[in-house]
Structure 1
Amino acid sequence: MDHLLVLLLLLWSSALQTEGTPNSTESEEVRLVGGDSRCAGTLEVKHKGDWKPVRGLDMVIERSGDWTLKEANVVCRNLDCGSAVSVVKRKESSVRPVWRIESDCVQSGSSLRDCARSDISSSILNLTCSDSVRLVDGTSLCSGRLEVKSDQSNQWWSSVCEDDFDQQDAEVVCRELGCGAPSVLQGALYGEVEAPMWTKEFQCGGHESALLDCRSSGSARNTCSPGKAVGLTCSESEEVRLVGGDSRCAGTVELKHNGDWRPVRGSYWTLKVANVVCRNLDCGSAVSVVEREESSYRPIWRIDSDCVQSGSSLRECATSESSSYILNLTCSDSVRLVDGTSLCSGRLEVKSDQSNQWWSSVCEDDFDQQDAEVVCRELGCGAPSVLQGALYGEVEAPMWTKEFQCGGHESALLDCRSSGPARNTCSPGKAVGLTCSDSVRLVGGDSRCAGTLELKHKGDWRPVRGFRWTLKEANVVCRNLDCGSAVSVVEREESSYRPVWLIDSDCVQSGSSLRECAISASSSYILNLTCSDLLVRPNISVSSSTYGVSEAQQQEFRVLRGSTFTISCSIQPQYPGGSFQLTFTSSNTTHNYTQPAVNHSAHFLFPAAEPAHQGNYSCVYHVYVFSHNFSSESRLLSLTVSDPSVHHHFIRVVVLLLTLLLVNTALCCCCKACRGQKPGRQENIELDDYNLGVPAAGGGPTEEEGAQGAE
């Protein structure tokens, strides 16, 4: 029976090895050479029978596509080498033939060979993988179920029983993988396929550089049950910091990676990307991000914006290189807007200045327009446009206990005076919701809806240089300015360079505000935009021989069938010339009539009204100015055509009523004349009763009583 058990174990381990090892044909096409082990060194790929190193991209020339830990991890898995720990771009003294393999191609799931293109470069990639430790099925390279590779000749990966693993062991694993300190250590957190098979208990001191350097017990463990595999999450929040600024929420961005603190150079970083760092540091919202040039080169971590926006950690997006450019970042320290559509909208939260700090929403009864102006200024946004309670939801009743009393000129909300007594009466649904505007304008054109696009960011008005802008992106600006739709977007070259805001089209199309997409740069290219809403709205009116004239207010205007009517279009004088198009729509037809504008108006005559003329009319003014066609449309006018017989019947009824009234009046006059010249009180009463249709006899006072009443 024991021999049978041993045989089954051998067969099982052989199956595991076959299953866990990459396809031999594929793995032979990739290797790491010149390192301390087969899991570290220069990355080389065999393609078309030729082994060549893989190049790193030059980010001065190329927008994106460089390698990060995410792409390096594909190689590590291919080589059965655990997780990617570092990827370094190394400069050689001379250029040589290389394979260019872009990150986007690798992330799509294609093989390295399928992504390879022949090139020449002096920049090549060095990779380091963890040799015998990895975290699998987690949310990042720093989380997952722990697996260890046996050091026996018949190698396989095995999960570890949580009873054989403690906090000190976890510290060693996180260090070996280049991650931060362990934050979560819990069995079965990331699932498992079967019971853990690692047969030794680790006894690390916590200072070792690799897990297999730790002492371990010699006795075999065969009692670990399913659901007990080690699940480990290494932290990343402690591995980023801002240094050299006025507070812990401002300064040069530095990342600790592979045990090394270095400044960060951002590839096309915007406020959206910078906000990841601010959240990581619990520092509110990103206010500014600036790329600063130093006097000399030094080692840095370059972090591509696209990688961060994909949801990867900063560490996973880091590539080692040397540069003289580094990032300076400023976050709001104690104010932020959350759950909004941009960094300039959301539910207001303020951080307490107590030692036990937390974020709390604010009651709208404790907040007014001047307070809102200060918050928008502190966040680097435009003026407040919407201030409304519960606009962006809330989890619980606001907990901030003071009423703000800002003058509107302060630079930070916590600089404002506030009331001393605590407020504990704010009910749910009353949290401040705030939207600050984007400060954009078009200048130098013939109207406020045409000209050079400028954005105010960090208190600085600069022209915008658009990267791959089309009418779609320009439309965002036109809508923001209430200027209709974009008609044209032109990139114009000036004679010299000047500071600009570089705004990428992809960022704008993602729904972000222009401010969130702005990158500080210098350029001689700027954007000129023209929006459609250059014109005032034309007026529409109708006149007929029957009912006179009426302006369009979407009411129903009635004309008599067979009568003559005229619809007039006019517009306030702005530009010479142009034409009017009268558009008619009904339930079953549409017609357009066009006339040139004479004295800024046109008149459309209809000699005989018919039922076919019944429907909605509007005037559209067209004019060609600034080398473009523009148009503007009036309100709708609804027209109804009445039948003459109905009209004549109505007139007959009116004439009959007037006749009856005249007859009644004449009878009254005759009665007064017949009474003679004695207009006594009784006569007056009888006349009144007659006019009311009530007999005088027996119903009113006698002549004697009337006389007594008179006396």
Structure 2
Amino acid sequence: MNMMLSKLVEGSSRCSGVLYLKRQGSWTEVDDRDWDLKLANVVCRLLDCGSVVQTFSTRDQMNWRHGLSWKVPPSCLESESRLGKCVTKRSTSPPARLGINCSGSVRLVNGTSLCSGQLKVKSDQSWSSVYEDDFDQQDAEVVCRELGCGAPSVLQGALYGDSESPMWTKEFLCEGHEAVLLDCDSSAGITHSSAKAVGLNCSEPDDLRLARGSSRCAGELEMKQMGKWNKVAPEISEWNRKMADIICGQLDCGSAVSTGSKRNDFFQVMWLMKTACLQPKNAVRECLLTTFHRSRYNVEIKCSESVRLVNGTSLCSGQLKVKSDQSWSSVYEDDFDQQDAEVVCRELGCGAPSVLQGALYGDSESPMWTKEFLCEGHEAVLLDCDSSAGITHSSAKAVGLNCSEPDDLRLARGSSRCAGELEMKQMGTWNKVAERSEWNRKMADIICGQLDCGSAVSIGSKRNDFSQVMWVMKTACLQPKNAVRECLLKTFHLSRYNVEIKCSESVRLVNGTSLCSGQLKVKSDQSWSSVYEDDFDQQDAEVVCRELGCGAPSVLQGALYGDSESPMWTKEFLCEGHEAVLLDCDSSAGITRSSAKAVGLTCSESDEVRLVDGSNHCVGRLELKHKGNWRPVDIYSWDLMSAAVVCRQLDCGSAVSIRTKDDSYHPTGWRVKTSCGPSDSTIWECVLIWPADYVKILEVTCSDFLFQPNISFATHPDGVSRAMQWGFQVLMGSEFTLSCSTLPQHPGGSFQLVVTESATPQNYTLPAVNHSAHFLFPAAGSAHRGVYRCVYHLYVFSHNLSSESQPLRLTVLASVTHLLIRLGFMVLMVVFTAVLFCYCKAKTRATPRREEANFELGHLGGANNLLGVEARAQGARQRSDGALTQPGT
């Protein structure tokens, strides 16, 4: 899209108004959905109109032409060249049109937000940087206001890069009240003491607040646009406490203590937040969507106000910061104790302090808090505690604090505290957690870990008699190092299905490649211990694998998954193999150990997977064995990534296709929801499964589904060959054939005959005819020695697939005729050599010793050498007579 294809109309200038696109020769409005300030800023830049100041949405009832408008997906704005090429028609009733106001003559570039960057000013259709010497605080106030930002907070030369030509040649003389920078007076350029270009940070505008709460740091989230305050509606798929924490930071209100959704009596017009855009360094207003949204639920947030933890791994860990006089200070380790920590953790909505240590999350930074806290532990907030004058500090370390997660997660109505229905407490109310398609055993394992309940044994979905209000978990957020409560979405959800989890409770495997492998840990007295290799045998391993919901142990070896770590289990297990859990086994006092290695264990998968009714085990109907029953699997929620896990588990390569026949139903089956990723090693780690009736059967084809081709050898009827244990022998000159064939699966394809370990490695290719190909060789030669393989190639399911045969070694032997000729030639050579030897012996008896010596030296060369010796002897006799004649004269 360029200036000829887009424009802003109905505004006060060419840089303000409703956005129109020119498509198919006519100008049409742009639908306002999915737009935010950052996307609108791209349009301002393309129109050469500076930076975006604001966006707005308007409906034109009078000029609505059959509800037609253009939708511009955000992906179109990935590059300027794409904008205008991927727009689509949309009909609304009437369309909501996108309006954009751009700054026109000023912009900030290379900054971290729309309100920061190097200043650029436009004049005569070109943009110029401004010298630091020509710009002051009053000028900055005008620029920040012109850009729709707050007051200037930082003004510094070269803050966002070096100056670039062209440079503005005049000094601005603003008084501070002007509407735009170019309204200010200016003077002729001066001699500049610095050639630095102005870099400017404006604060975010005062368009974000928490209203109707107990303080400015608690209440309902509201945003101001076009001079009007509106509530913000949560997106059901996104909003959680991490998002709320970013809001608290932007309001300078510490950390998020809690967040939730407030239900109104009737639907209201609200703003919608693009929560995926919310990041700690982003301005919140840039993530507000332009479109109005009608909702009954709006966001409520409570922030800690005067304390926060920074640089930690969760919202309940980090270096302590305390706010006073609008600034945040670190606290000396010497001025803070366990009772103070208890108050801070409670103020932050976290559990009891678990770690309190100086420099745990970085070194101290100025400013530092100058008083010692004297909390008794019952205070509601840290600043309610008494304090004393600062002391001489033995350490300058800043307090680092870890609070435990609050007691707001549990498994209820199960056989123990480590089994049951998952519930979360928010705003003082316990509610079940709704089952969603993303839930799987890996996610459940994180829940078990957070509850200190070992490993996940199983996860399921419980069906209620009627729909209930439940919490929704953002499962993509669930990671081993994340707090579970940070992933709870703050929207109520009506559902009939909630999550059930069973954990192992007293054993777990850590640092393994799957949920059924790792170093063994056993729990006793609230702590987890490794087990010595000498204290654990195969029967003990069988009990552990069964307790974890896995199959029989396949590998048992010390130090398989890391070295031993303290504490270590002090007794030897004496299981008989039938026990339900490891701690039911007898044990004896510790022995003298030959090895200090910790037990590493790999269990097989308890539930099995197979492909049946196909041409081999790598293609066919998918069936899972769950709770002892083999049943087919329906196609619901499956994709190629999930099928790839099945193929990998069956050692069948990668997934080629998944499909179902329209009439392929089975009366009983498994309904499976998958959320598999590329790193999952077994299908059981990423599925949620329950019984279902009349499922539509899923068929899976893996890349190794082709049969292995056969290779065979045959010779011409007159040829001679011999089969050996390691291959075939064929006589030189014989005609022979190598044939490739495969069982019928798909028509077509080709066979490649590959030759290796040969003097000249090569390959031949023929099309497959009736699933075979025959390679004819008219005469065997030495170049045909080598190892042969048939490779069958087939293009199917949009994939190039292949399968290779076993090797066949071929040796070429000399024929009988060839042997007789060589034998005859050798006999003639022997006879000739004997005759020649006798002749030479007779001649040497009549010659002097000297000539004899010459003959003996030369006769080895054969008949030609003999003639040469006689010629030299004759020449010597002639020289003794004094005649110097040439031979033949």
TM class by smaller structure: 0.7 to 0.9
Kindly indicate whether residue 375 of structure 2 is the aligned counterpart of residue 207 of structure 1.
no
User: Any idea what the Cα deviations from partners look like across 1:630-652, whole Å, max 9, x if unmatched?
Assistant: 86431233446678899749974
Tell me by how many angstroms 1:588 deviates: 6.3
SS at structure 1 position matched to 2:444: helix
State how 1:405-484 maps to structure 2 within 5 Å: 405-407=575-577, 410-415=579-584, 418=586, 420=588, 422-429=590-597, 431-437=599-605, 439-443=608-612, 445=614, 447-457=616-626, 459=628, 461=630, 463-464=632-633, 469-484=638-653
Q: CA deviation at 1:331?
A: 0.7
Summarize the Cα distance change of 1:445–1:382 in structure 2 as closer, same or farther, 3 Å threshold.
Answer: farther
What's the CA shift string for 1:132-161, capped at 9, x where partnerless? 1111222221112222211x4xx2112223
- Determine whether 1:338 maps to 2:518: no
1:328 matched to 2:500: yes
Q: Say which is worse superposed, 120-129 or 586-595, in terms of deviation.
A: 586-595
**Does structure 1 conserve the Cα–Cα contact (< 8 Å) formed by 2:441 and 2:456?**
yes
1:26 paired with 2:204, answer yes
Could you tell me how far apart the structure 1 residues matched to 2:697 and 2:223 are? 43
Q: Which residue pairs with 1:309 in the alignment?
A: 479
Q: Distance in 1 between matches of 2:153 and 2:796?
A: 74
Shift of residue 274 of structure 1?
1.8
CA shift for structure 1 position 607: 0.8
Aligned to 2:321: 147
Q: What is residue 39 of structure 1 aligned with on the other side?
A: 217
1:289 — aligned with what? 459
Q: Is the 8 A contact 1:347 1:433 kept in 2?
A: yes
SS of 1:169's equivalent in the other structure is helix
AA paired with 2:405?
Answer: E
Residue correspondence of structure 1 range 108-507 to structure 2 within 5 A: 110-117=282-289, 118=291, 119-150=293-324, 152=325, 155-194=326-365, 197-217=368-388, 220-221=389-390, 227-236=396-405, 240-255=409-424, 263-265=432-434, 268-294=438-464, 301-309=471-479, 311-323=481-493, 326-351=498-523, 355=525, 358-361=528-531, 363=533, 366-368=536-538, 372-395=541-564, 399=569, 401-407=571-577, 410-415=579-584, 418=586, 420=588, 422-429=590-597, 431-437=599-605, 439-443=608-612, 445=614, 447-457=616-626, 459=628, 461=630, 463-464=632-633, 469-490=638-659, 500-504=671-675, 507=676
**TM-score between both structures, scaled by the size of structure 2:** 0.60
CA distance in 2, matches of 1:243, 1:94: 34
1:56, 1:67 within 8 Å by CA — same for their partners in 2?
Answer: yes
Distance 1:415 1:207 in 2: 43
Residue 592 (structure 1) aligns with: 765
* Structure 1 pair 73–432 and aligned structure 2 pair: CA distance change class (3 A): closer
Mapped contact 2:364–2:398 kept (Cα < 8 A):
no
Q: TM-score, normalised by structure 1?
A: 0.74
Deviation string for 1:176-219 (max 9, x for gaps)?
110011122223332345355334443333222222233344xx
Q: Report the CA distance shift for 1:508/1:222 in structure 2 as closer, same or farther (over 3 A).
A: same
Cα deviation, 1:588-641, whole Å, max 9, x if unaligned, reads 6432123524xx765432112356645543224578999999864312334466
Residue 568 of structure 1 aligns with an amino acid whose one-letter code is: S
SS in 2 for 1:245: strand
Quote the Cα distance in structure 1 between the aligned partners of 2:458 and 2:705.
34
With over 3 angstroms needed to count, the CA separation of the structure-2 counterparts of 1:576 and 1:51, relative to structure 1, is closer
SS of the residue corresponding to residue 377 of structure 1 reads helix
2:364–2:396 contact (8 Å) kept in structure 1: no
Check conservation: 2:558, 2:599, Cα contact below 8 A: yes
Asked if structure 1 preserves the Cα contact closer than 8 Å seen for 2:721 and 2:730, the reply is no
Deviates more, 1:194-203 or 1:624-633: 624-633
Greater relative contact order (CA < 8 Å, ≥ 6 in sequence): 1
- Summarize the Cα distance change of 1:70–1:547 in structure 2 as closer, same or farther, 3 Å threshold: farther
Aligned to 2:644, the other structure's residue is in SS state: helix
User: How far has the Cα of 1:344 moved from its partner?
Assistant: 1.3
**Partners in 1 of 2:451 and 2:573 — Cα distance?**
27
In the TM superposition, residue 79 of structure 1 has moved relative to its aligned partner by 0.8
What's the counterpart of residue 548 of structure 1?
721
Structure whose CA Rg is larger: 2
Deviations 1:13-70 (A, max 9, x none): xxxx968xx9764252322222222212222234566643322233xxxxx4x11121
* Structure 2 residue aligned with 1:531: 702
1:479 maps to a residue whose letter is R
Shift of the 635–490 alpha-carbon distance from structure 1 to 2, 3 Å rule, reads same
Stretches of structure 1 that go unaligned for 5 or more consecutive residues are: 1-16, 59-63, 657-711
Contact 2:636 2:671 in 1 (8 A): no
CA distance in 1, matches of 2:533, 2:822: 65
Q: Deviations over 1:313-352 (max 9, x none)?
A: 1232234444565433211123322221010122334445
In 2, are the aligned partners of 1:186 and 1:230 still within 8 Å (CA)? yes
Confirm whether residue 56 of structure 1 aligns to residue 228 of structure 2: no
CA distance in 1: counterparts of 2:453 and 2:817, whole angstroms:
76
CA distance in 2, matches of 1:651, 1:365: 75
CA shift in 2, pair 1:229/1:512, >3 Å? same
Kindly indicate whether the alpha-carbon contact (under 8 Å) linking 1:196 and 1:225 is maintained by their aligned counterparts in 2.
no
1:618 equivalent in alignment to 2:760: no
Instruction: Kindly report which structure 2 residues correspond to 1:86-101, keeping only aligned pairs within 5 A, or say none.
Output: 86-101=258-273
Structure 2 CA distance for partners of 1:78 and 1:491, relative to 1, 3 Å: farther
Q: Of Structure 1 and Structure 2, which has the larger fraction of its residues in helix?
A: 1
Q: In the TM superposition, what is the alpha-carbon distance from 1:583 to its structure 2 partner? A: 1.8
Q: Name the SS for the 2:276 alignment partner.
A: helix
Could you say which residue in structure 2 is the equivalent of 1:6? none
SS of aligned partner of 2:478:
helix
What secondary structure does 2:513 align onto?
coil
User: Does 465-474 or 28-37 show the bigger shift?
Assistant: 465-474
For residue 309 of structure 1, give the secondary structure of its aligned residue in structure 2: coil
- Check the 8 A contact 2:645/2:680 in 1, yes or no: no
Q: 1:41 to 1:579 in 2, by over 3 A?
A: closer
Measure the CA separation in 1 of the matches of 2:529 and 2:797: 52
SS at match of 1:71: helix
Q: 2:608 is aligned with what amino acid?
A: S
Per-residue CA distance 1:214-247 (angstroms, 9 max, x = gap): 3344xx5385587243222211275544333222
- Write the distance in 2 (CA, Å) between the matches of 1:595 and 1:24: 72
Would you say the 8 A contact 1:178–1:258 is kept in 2?
A: no
1:121 counterpart SS class: strand
Which one of 252, 259, 267 corresponds to residue 80 of structure 1?
Answer: 252
Q: Kindly tell me: are residues 592 and 447 of structure 1, through their superposed partners in 2, closer, same or farther at Cα, counting changes over 3 Å?
A: closer
Number of equivalences: 616
CA deviations over 1:472-493 (Å, ceiling 9, x no partner): 4423312322344433212567
Q: Is the CA contact (8 Å cut-off) linking 1:269 and 1:519 kept in structure 2?
A: yes
Rate the CA distance shift 1:272–1:466 in 2: closer, same or farther, 3 A.
Answer: farther
Alignment map for 1:499-518 (pairs within 5 Å)? 500-504=671-675, 507-518=676-687
Task: State the identity %.
Answer: 49
CA-atom RMSD in angstroms:
4.3
- Counterpart Cα distance in 2 of 1:574 and 1:345: 40
How big is the shift at 1:263? 4.6
CA gap of 1:185–1:336, structure 2 versus 1, over 3 A, is closer
In structure 1, the residue corresponding to 2:677 is in which secondary structure? helix
In structure 2, how many angstroms separate the alpha carbons of the residues matched to 1:36 and 1:462?
57
The 1-side partners of 2:660 and 2:602 are apart by 34
How far the C-alpha of 1:515 sits from its partner, in A, is 0.9
Could you tell me whether the CA contact under 8 Å between 1:615 and 1:640 is conserved in 2?
yes
Residues of 1 paired with 2:270 and 2:668: CA distance?
A: 36
**The 10-residue stretch of structure 1 (460-469 or 473-482) with the greater mean CA deviation from structure 2:** 460-469
Contact 2:211 2:222 in 1 (8 A): yes
Q: Distance in 2 between matches of 1:76 and 1:246?
A: 41
User: 1 CA distance for matches of 2:415 and 2:508?
Assistant: 19
